[in-house]
Amino acid sequence: MPGSHVVPTKLLSNQFDHFYKGGDRIGKLRKGPGGPMRPEEWIGSTTTRFGQELTGLSYLTEGELLRDSIEADPIAWLGAEHVGAFGSSTEILVKLLDLDQRLPVHYHPDQKFAAERLQINHGKTEAWIILEAPQGAKVGLGFNREMSKSEIANLVAAHDSQALLESLVFTEVSSGDAIFVPAGVPHAIESGIFVLELQEPSDLSILLEWNDFAVDGDIDGHLDLGFDSALDALRLTPLSAPEKFQAFTHFEEGKPIGHAIFNSVADPFFRADYLAGNGERVGAGFGIFLCLWRAGTLDYEGSSPMPVDVGDAVVIPHIAGDYVLNGASGVLCRPPVPQRSS
C-alpha cells in the first residue's frame, strides 16, 4: 500500500569530514562522532556534496537513504501539491555548523547562474539561526563598498585574506539571531558560533580566500569553472538598508508562541518556525524538526505519537497529517509553500 511504510522518523547522525575545524557540539547534541574536522551535519539531506555520489545523504535506517524512500513514494512524503510544483525534490537542506575555526570569505551562485553555468536546478540562498555565540562574535555579510570584479580577482589571486575580510560588513550576533543570506552575497562566520542553517538543496560554494584552511582554493574553490567565470556569480554591491533590515531577525526560546523565524524574504526558498511546545497545530507537510529545549511529544493526526528529547532530529512526512508539539521546543524547517496557479 503506497505510503504505508512512510512514517515520522528520528534521523541518524550525519557528520562527515570537511576542510575547517569543529564538530564537538554537534556530536554532543546529536550523539554523533564530534570533531575535530567534522564541523557540519546535514540533517534530512537528499543532497550530496559537490561532485560526490553518496556523501551528504541522510539515512532513515542503517541501509535506507531518505532520498530513495522519497523517490519511491514522493506524494506520501511531500504531498501532491508539493510534487506538482517541485517534483520529488524536498527543496531544502538543513545543516548544523559548529565552528572551531572561522568560515572563509565565500559566496554561492543563484538559481539562474547554477542553471546556465552548472546545469543544476538550485542555487544556494541560505539562512543562519544562531544557537550559540561567544560574547562579541560576529558574522560578515556583504561588501562594505562597491567592488569591481577585477579588484576581487586580484585579491583572490594574491591570497589576500586580510583585505577580503576587511571588505565585509561585520555584525555582532548572539543566540536567537537569524540572518538571511541571499545567493551571490559574500559572507563569513567567526569561530565559536554554533549555527542551524537552512538552504536550497545544493552544495555550491565559491571561495575568495582560504589561508589556514585544509583546502586548495586555486584548485577546488571555484566549482571547476575557473575564477573568471565563477566571479560572475558574486554580488559586488553592498546590501541596501532595506535589505539589511529584512535579513536580520531574532527570536527567544521560552516565549509561548510559534512563529516564523525569518522575514518573508526567505519564503520563496524555505521556512523556519520556532515551536514552543504549547500544542499549537502545524498543518500537514514535509518538515524537519530539531528538538533543542526540553523533552516532550510530537502528536500526529495520521501516525503514532513520538517522544522527543533534546538533540532529536525528526523528518516528518506529509502523510503524517497535522501535528502538535507538546512540552519540548525547537525549530521546524520546511520547504517553501507551493505557489498555486491562478
Same domain flag for 298 and 198: no
Residue at a domain's end among 201, 229, 250: 250
Overall size of the chain counted in residues: 342
pTM here is: 0.96
Neighbours of 33 (CB within 10 A): 14
Domain stops at, among 232, 250, 268: 250
Q: What pLDDT shows up at residue 142?
A: 98
Are 55 and 152 members of one domain? Answer: yes
Number of domains in the chain: 2
In a domain, 272, yes or no: yes
| Mean pLDDT estimate for the chain | 95
Which of 283, 225, 292, 289 has its CA nearest to residue 254? 292
150 and 171 fall within a common domain: yes
Which residue is listed with cell 537528499? 46
**Looking at the structure, do residues 209 and 295 belong to the same domain, yes or no?**
no
Read off the pLDDT of each residue in 152-163 and give the average, rounded to a whole number.
98
Residue 244 lies in a domain: yes
Residues 276, 241, single domain; the answer is no
Residues 213 and 330 placed together within one structural domain of the fold: no
Instruction: Report if residue 2 sits inside a domain.
Output: no
Candidate from 33-42, 119-128, 253-262, 321-330 with smallest mean pLDDT: 253-262
Residue 342, pLDDT > 70, answer no
Tens of pLDDT, residues 253-289: 877 655 899 999 999 999 999 999 998 899 999 999 9
**In the 3-class helix/strand/coil scheme, how is 122-175 assigned residue by residue?**
CCCCEEEEEEECCCCCEEEEEECCCCCHHHHHHHHHCCCHHHHHHCEEEEECCC
- Residue 16 pLDDT: 94
Residues 212 and 306 in one domain: no
Let me know whether 85 and 122 are in one domain. Answer: yes
Residue 221 lies in a domain: yes
Say whether 203 sits in a helix, a strand or coil: coil
- How many whole angstroms separate alpha carbon 224 and alpha carbon 302? 46
| Dihedral pair phi/psi, residue 28, rounded to 5° | -70, -45
| CA distances from residue 139 to 21, 172, 174, 207 in whole angstroms, order as listed | 17, 7, 10, 16
Rounded CA gap, 334 and 341, in Å? 21
**Burial of 32 from C-beta contacts in 10 A (0-12 / 13-18 / 19+):** buried
Domain extent, residue 293, equals 259-334
Could you tell me if 151 and 264 lie in one domain? no
Say if residue 213 is in the same domain as residue 300.
no
* Residue finishing a domain among 222, 250, 278: 250
Q: Is the pLDDT of residue 341 over 90?
A: no
DSSP three-state, residue 113: helix
How do residues 52-78 score in pLDDT, each as one tens digit?
A: 999 999 999 878 999 999 999 999 999
Cα separation of the two ends of the chain: 33
Q: Are 94 and 44 in contact (CB under 8 A)?
A: yes
Identity of the residue numbered 233:
A
CA-derived radius of gyration, the chain: 20
Give the residue from 302, 337, 308, 338 showing the smallest Cα distance to 323: 302
Q: What is the CATH number of the domain that holds 140?
A: 2.60.120.10
311 and 245 in a common domain: no
Per-residue model confidence (pLDDT) at position 156: 98
| Contact (Cβ atoms closer than 8 angstroms) between residue 44 and residue 9 | no
pLDDT in tens, 113-152: 999 999 999 999 999 999 999 999 999 999 999 999 999 9
Residue 4 placed within a domain:
no
Enumerate the β-bridge partners of residue 129.
178, 196
* Domain-embedded: residue 3: no
- Amino acid type, 271: R
- Establish if 340 belongs to a structural domain: no
Distance CA 187, CA 164 (A): 10
| Residues 213, 76 share a domain | yes
**C-alpha cell of 199?**
538552504
Task: Summarize the chain as % helix, strand, coil (round to 5).
Answer: 20, 30, 50
**Does a structural domain hold residue 44?**
yes
Name the DSSP class of 246.
Answer: H
The answer to whether 338 and 86 have CB atoms below 8 angstroms apart is: yes
